[in-house]
Amino acid sequence: MKNWIFAITTLAVCNGFALTVDEIVEKANQAAYYAGSDGQADVKMVITDATGGERTREFRILRLNTGAGSQKFYVYFKEPADVRQQVFMVWKEVEQGKDDSRWLFLPALNLVKPIAPGDKRTSFVGSDFVYEDVSGRALWEDTHELSGETETQYLIKNKPNNPDAVDFSEYTVAIDKTTFLPVKAEYLDKNGKLFRRVEAVKIETIQGHPTVTESRVEDLARGGRTINFFSAVIYDTGLKESIFTERFLRRPPREATK
Amino acid sequence: MNTIRQISLISLILSSSAFAADLALHGFVDARYGLRTQNDPNKGDKTLEELRLQLSRVWYQDLFTATVRSDFLFDGVANNHDQLNLETGKGPVDLREMNVQFTPVDWMDIKAGRQILTWGTGDLLFINDLFPKDWKSFFAGRDEEYLKAPSDALFISFFPPFASIDFAYTPRFDSDRFIDGERFSYWNGAALTGTDLKTERQDEWLEDDETAARIYHTFEGMEFAVYGYDGFWKTPQGFDPVKGKNTFPKLSVYGTSIRGPLAGGIARLEGGYYDSRDDRNGTDPWAPNSQARLLAGYEHEIIKDLTGSAQYYIEHMMRHNEYCDAYPGPSGTEADENRHVLTLRLTQMLLNQNLTLGLFVYWSPSDQDGYLRPGVSYKLTDHWLMEARGNFFFGEHNYTFFGQFEDNSNASLAARYSF
């Protein structure tokens, strides 16, 4: 499931008698973001800026598939101290024209605050990952093209259908032919220069699901990088949908605090 | 306070914070210093000179969750270390939370004890949130969390399928921590003054109580809520001419709100009727008039990492003619029938969200006054935060809500170590 942190969702046609475009795109999207009916993981994020300064974030993330591509996420922060016990919740929508809903819970004020949907290419908690890396990029937002193929990987070039809405002109994703997990994505800026690289550093099979347990993003333009370490990954825990409500923002459930 | 004492106090607090981390205690050490940006004939220059240690501990048990969170404070402006009043937060200890939360049946949660309570949709404007506020902390530039003062309450939530219902019972009235001359000067009805405001507060357990309720439901992304409150005006807006003391007249509030996504942002609308039960016909000069209050707000990301939010708020006095006829103060200082307020919030995040530039503006075209709250904060590391804040009041008149605080305008610097 940590695969949703690892943001590559798209694929394209392959040759010959193999899978159709739609089948591949769907398979990769499922492998990266939808494994199991639900999942949870402890995430440690190490953010290193261009000058070598290091910051860490630690949180528990709960994810539930709620049907037709929509999902609910519950992120419970443990570190650093100034955000401890804060909760970030997302109801993700993939249907065209529908925005995600996001909330923040601030424990010191006991305040549940809806957050304006905003730019999905904004940094997630100050890291080099963006919101879209966490919850996925809808398939319809890009045009996909098979740009190459090796024995083990498909190489897919993706061009945004609405270039003004994003910070890249295109990105190429390498997808493992066996697991269908995206293992590397490289983003070109508006001038066609490589500026961002996301990689799956470590993959383990957990409960039958190939799972990225370490991922890395590099900001090649500014020099920063962020590494995510995933632990305590569990699928199909039977998460209840009621957890993803105001009640459990104000009163974090055992699934988040234990 | 002398430097050696200050240094030894800091080192004591820092060493105790290291010790605290070993005990799974968390919190912060926070030092703040603030000065008036002009002279105030009624008060000294300092608005803040404090060192604060917050410690918190949460116990997650199978049957309950217990929380204790308390501040220990050296306050060089209030200088009231010999007093200890946990109810008002005066003195060296400010107990923020001490409560137990449990779920007796799966459709009900109970939280009992000292807790921070918040609801409603306004951004630094409150209509149906009648839980105690701390205006002194807010105006002095303490962290925004201190705008909320704790309640000693029983909070019960019910979750039937059709809606969620919250019920807050405060067995003894918790007023706001209002401007009373301790740190800031104010308009006393006839003149600006810095002397202590004399008040008489209802304090009978179970008799002088407060009850607040909210029913809310989210449908298609829109959150609908209705609210009710039975208690007292939260600031001493009444006056007892025999005793010469300000009082907290009876108040009931009924209101509603809607909040949800609109055109890529978040829109909100909230209204409430303030039934001033001691002066329903508006003729008592010593009790506030009933009011209708309404706010409309919208928040949107302007560009990446810059969010803007605006609100319009109106306070309508129900019986303005009667109020003017009975008004005891100097002629010309009466409140208007309608008080209009506009607010604007801008928040810019920079440098990997470690630098935050913020501005909040209140401006009342009817009162011709306002309040600017600029702030800059920088997270040096995961532990250290530095910030600078301003609280600038302006107004044409000394008797309007923000205008009376003009001489209290201040700027402050702070450093915080979180652990």
User: What secondary structure does DSSP assign to A95-156, as a single string?
Assistant: STT---EEEEEETTTTEEEEE----TTSBSTTSSSBHHHHH---GGGEEEEEEEE-SSEEEE
Measure in Å the smallest separation between the Cα of B389 and chain A Cα atoms. Answer: 18
Nearest Cα to Cα of residue A43 among A160, A157, A125 = A125
Q: Are A197 and A217 in contact (CB under 8 A)?
A: yes
Q: What is residue B197's DSSP assignment?
A: P
Residue type, A173: V
Condensed to tens digits (0 to 9), the pLDDT of residues B315-374 reads 999 999 999 999 988 889 999 999 999 999 999 999 999 999 999 999 999 999 999 999
Q: What is the DSSP string of B374-415?
A: EEEEEESSSSEEEEEEEEEEEES-TTSTTGGGGGG-EEEEEE
Rounded distance, CA A55 to CA B368, Å?
46
Cα Rg of chain A (Å, integer): 18
Domains along chain A? 2-253 (2.50.20.10)
Residue B265 in contact with partner chain A when CB distance is under 8 A? yes
CB–CB of A129/A123 below 8 Å? yes
User: In this complex, is the C-beta atom of B220 within 8 Å of any C-beta atom belonging to chain A?
Assistant: no
pLDDT at B7 over 70: no
- Percent of chain B exceeding pLDDT 90 equals 86
Q: Which residues in A lie closer than 8 A to residue B353 (C-beta atoms)?
A: 123, 125-126
pLDDT tens digits for range A37-85: 999 999 999 999 999 999 999 999 999 999 889 999 999 999 999 999 9
Determine the Cα–Cα distance for residues B166 and B162; give it in Å rounded to an integer: 13
Distance (Å) of CA A218 to CA A50, A174, A175, A186, A235: 10, 16, 19, 10, 28
The answer to whether B61 contacts chain A (CB < 8 Å) is no
Closest to A122 (Cβ–Cβ): which among B148, B216, B304? B304
What would the mean pLDDT of B183-200 be, rounded to a whole number? 93
The alpha carbon of residue B118 is apart from the nearest alpha carbon of chain A, in Å, by: 6
pLDDT in tens, B243-266: 999 999 999 999 999 999 999 899
Full strand arrangement of the beta sheet holding B245-247: B199-200, B245-247, B238-240
Angle (CA) B85-B86-B92 rounded to 5° is 70
Q: Read off the tokens for B19.
A: 């010790």
B274-289 pLDDT tens trace: 999 999 999 999 999 9
Q: Do B353 and A251 touch (CB under 8 A)?
A: no
E strand or H helix at B54:
strand B46-60
* Separation in Å, CA of A36 to nearest CA in chain B: 26
Under the banding of pLDDT at 50, 70 and 90, the label for residue B89 is: confident
* Residue B98, pLDDT score: 97
| Structure-block tokens of residue A138 | 């809808």
pLDDT in tens, B402-412: 999 999 999 99
Residue A8: name the closest of A142, A202, A164 by CA.
Answer: A142
Q: What residues of A are in contact with residue B27 (Cβ under 8 Å)?
A: 81
Residue A87's CB: how many other CB atoms inside 10 A? 22
- Among the listed residues B234, B237, B274, the one whose alpha carbon sits nearest the alpha carbon of residue B253: B274
User: Quick one: average pLDDT of B386-403?
Assistant: 97
Closest CA to A94 of A117, A62, A71: A71
Give the H or E element holding residue A135.
helix A131-135
Among B33, B223, B233, CA closest to B140:
B33
Helical spans, DSSP H, in B279-411: 320-326
Concatenate the DSSP letters of all residues of B101-122 into one string. EEEEETTEEEEEEEE----SS-
3 state SS of A145: strand
The answer to whether A44 contacts chain B (CB < 8 Å) is no
Question: Using the 8-state DSSP alphabet, how is residue B191 labeled?
Answer: S
Cβ of residue A208 closer than 8 Å to a chain B Cβ: no
A212-221, B60-69, B81-90, B141-150: segment of lowest average pLDDT: B81-90
User: Please, are residues B302 and B308 in contact by the beta-carbon 8 Å criterion?
Assistant: yes
Q: Do B65 and A251 touch (CB under 8 A)?
A: yes
**Local confidence band at B6 (pLDDT 50, 70, 90 cut-offs):** low
Taking the Cβ of residue A223 and every Cβ of chain B, the question of whether any pair is shorter than 8 Å is answered with no
Q: Does A79 contact chain B (CB < 8 Å)? A: yes
Beta bridge partners of B164: B216
Cβ separation A81–B28 shorter than 8 A: yes
Closest CA to A84 of B353, B28, B88, B327: B28
Closest C-alpha among B239, B250, B149, B140 to residue B198: B239
pLDDT digits (tens, 9 = 90+) for A190-199: 999 999 999 9
Name the closest residue on chain B to residue A127, using Cα atoms.
B352
Average of pLDDT values for B113-136? 97
**B79 in any annotated domain:** yes
CB contact under 8 A, B264 and A114: no
B122: domain CATH number is 2.40.160.10
Q: For B318-383, list the strands marked E by DSSP.
A: 338-350, 355-364, 369-379
Task: Give the dihedral sign, CA B189/B190/B192/B197.
Answer: negative
- Does A257 reach chain B within 8 Å, measured CB to CB? yes
Query: In angstroms, what separates the C-alpha of B238 from chain A's closest C-alpha?
Result: 29
- Residue B45 included in any domain: yes
Which letter does DSSP use for residue A27 in this model? Answer: H
> Residue A43 contacts by C-beta under 8 Å, 6 or more apart in sequence?
A2, A5, A57, A58, A59, A60, A61, A228, A229, A230
Q: Nearest 10 degrees: CA dihedral of B136, B141, B145, B147? A: 30
How many residues can be counted in chain A? Answer: 258
CB contacts of B266 in chain A (<8 Å) are 114-116
For residues B68-89, average pLDDT? 91
Do the domain assignments include residue B74? yes
Residue B3 located in a structural domain:
no
Which 151-210 residues of chain B touch chain A by CB within 8 A? 157, 159, 164
For B224, list phi and psi in degrees, rounded to 5. -105, 140
- Does residue B14 sit within a domain? no
Q: Do A108 and B221 touch (CB under 8 A)?
A: no
* For B27, nearest residue in chain A (alpha carbons): A81
Burial of B402 (0-12, 13-18, 19+ CB in 10 A): buried
| Tally of structural domains, chain B | 1
- Which residue among A109, A125, A224 sits closest to B145, beta carbon to beta carbon? A109
Q: Where are the alpha helices (DSSP H) in B195-312?
A: none
**B28–A114 C-beta distance less than 8 A:** no
Instruction: Express each pLDDT in A3-50 by its tens digit.
Output: 544 444 333 333 445 677 777 778 999 999 999 999 999 999 999 999
Q: Which domain holds residue B78?
A: 27-418
ipTM: 0.91
Cβ distance of B352 and A126 shorter than 8 Å? yes
Which is it for strands A209-219 and A87-92: parallel, antiparallel or unpaired? unpaired
Decide if B65 is inside a domain: yes
B205-237 pLDDT per residue, tens: 999 999 999 999 999 889 999 999 999 999 999
Q: Calculate what percentage of chain B has a pLDDT beyond 70.
A: 95
Tell me, yes or no, whether B44 lies in a domain: yes
| Residue at A47: amino acid letter | I
Amino acid at A51: T
pLDDT at A5 (0 to 100): 45
Q: Do A110 and B116 touch (CB under 8 A)?
A: yes
Distance from CA of A195 to the nearest CA of B (A): 16
B299 contacts chain A (CB < 8 A): yes
Mean pLDDT value of segment B13-31:
73
Q: Rounded mean pLDDT of chain B?
A: 93
- What Cα–Cα distance (Å) separates residue B245 from each residue in A15, B194, B200, B239, B241? 87, 16, 6, 6, 7
- Alpha-carbon span A223 to A154, nearest angstrom: 28
**3-state class (DSSP) for residue B185:** coil
| Identity of residue A111 | L
User: What pLDDT digit, counting tens, does each position of B23-70 carry?
Assistant: 689 999 999 999 999 999 999 999 999 999 999 999 999 899 999 999
- C-alpha span between A72 and A140 (Å, rounded): 20
Q: How far is CA B29 from the centre of its chain?
A: 22
Lowest mean pLDDT among A172-176, A196-200, B78-82: B78-82
- Output the pLDDT for position A149: 87
Average pLDDT over residues A77-94: 94
AA identity, residue B285: P
Residues B189 and B404: beta-carbon distance below 8 Å: no
Note whether A110 contacts B118, CB cutoff 8 Å.
Answer: yes
Phi/psi of residue A52, nearest 5 degrees:
95, -5
Residues 6+ apart with CB under 8 A from B304: A119, A121, A122
In order of A104, A117, B269, the CA distances from A101 in angstroms are 11, 6, 18
**Residue B275, beta-bridge partner list:** B252
In a domain, B22, yes or no: no
Query: β-strand B265-276 against B250-262: which pairing, if any?
Result: antiparallel
